[in-house]
Amino acid sequence: MGLNKTNGNMYPWVTHTWNPLAGKCQHDCSYCYMKRSFLGNLKKYKGEVRLTEGELDIDLGAGKTIFVGSATDIFGEWVPGSAIKSILSYCRKFPNNYLFQSKNPRRIAEFLELLPKNSTIGTTLETNRNYNISQAPQPPQRYQDFLSIEYPRKMISIEPILDFDLEEFLMWIEKINPEFVSIGADSKNYDLQEPDSNKIEELIKGIKEFTEIRSKKNLKRVLKI
């Protein structure tokens, strides 16, 4: 599929997505947008993990902000280290800004020295609670693993936002010290356990005291604005 320009459902600050890795994502998150997207029916995202033929030949250009692996998790435990190294090595050939986001941040730590310049690393923390809606590491484990990574450019995605414990969740986020936090809601009608609008507003207020908030359009539904 090559390099793709983002649409309104992606992070507004990302210009392109690139998915060189094929195969089924074994995190199997119950709310995964791929499950209700045409992408989920593509042969590319089924079967064993593999590098997609031809993807490491395309021109990634320069001056873009590229989310690498937006349709899967290139740092999943099932992904061979050789594939990760190949992807990162190819990215380093092109002077872009890159986002590498994973629900398995422990694995990112293994490849920090191979990241291209101007990379941002991120993880998803939908909540501070365990809801058992994914085969990925639970949020408390993701928090601990991401916190332990010493890297100057971090971001956190709170999407889809799930009900949380305000004081503990704020403490987690502040300790991680991200450059910014992206917050979004369930946009695929998965009937998730969401916090009320007042609680979300308190979370946003608290986060703004120490870092930037980048709210997604789909958050308006739960904020009732």
The whole-angstrom separation of Cα 87 and Cα 108 is 13
134 CB contacts (<8 Å, ≥6 apart)? 27, 28, 29, 30, 103
User: Exposure of 180 by Cβ count < 10 A (0-12 exposed, 13-18 middle, 19+ buried)?
Assistant: middle
SS3 34: helix
Q: How confident is the model at residue 23 (pLDDT cuts 50, 70, 90)?
A: very high
DSSP assignment string, 175-203: HH--SEEEE----S-----PPPHHHHHHH
Tell me what the mean pLDDT of segment 25-30 comes to: 93
Tell me what the mean pLDDT of segment 77-100 comes to: 98
The whole-angstrom separation of Cα 205 and Cα 138 is 25
In the chain, the amino acid numbered 4 is N
Residues of the chain above pLDDT 70, percent: 96
Per-residue pLDDT tens digits for 97-139 = 999 999 999 999 999 999 999 999 999 999 999 999 999 999 9
**DSSP summary character for residue 171:** H
Residue 111 burial (CB count, 10 A): 17
Per-residue pLDDT tens digits for 149-185 = 999 999 999 999 999 999 999 999 999 999 999 999 9
Strand boundaries in 50-167, DSSP class E: 50-51, 65-68, 97-101, 119-124, 154-158
| pLDDT, the chain, mean | 94
Residue 200 has pLDDT above 70, yes or no: yes
Output the domain CATH number for residue 177. 3.20.20.70
Residue 188 burial (CB count, 10 A): 16
Residue 85 has pLDDT above 90, yes or no: yes
Residue 40 has pLDDT above 80, yes or no: no
Residue 79 has pLDDT above 70, yes or no: yes
Could you tell me the residue range of the domain that residue 174 belongs to? Answer: 3-223
What local confidence, expressed as pLDDT, does residue 41 receive?
60
The whole-angstrom separation of Cα 143 and Cα 157 is 12
Residue 32 has pLDDT above 80, yes or no: yes
In the chain, the amino acid numbered 31 is Y
How many domains is the chain partitioned into structurally? 1
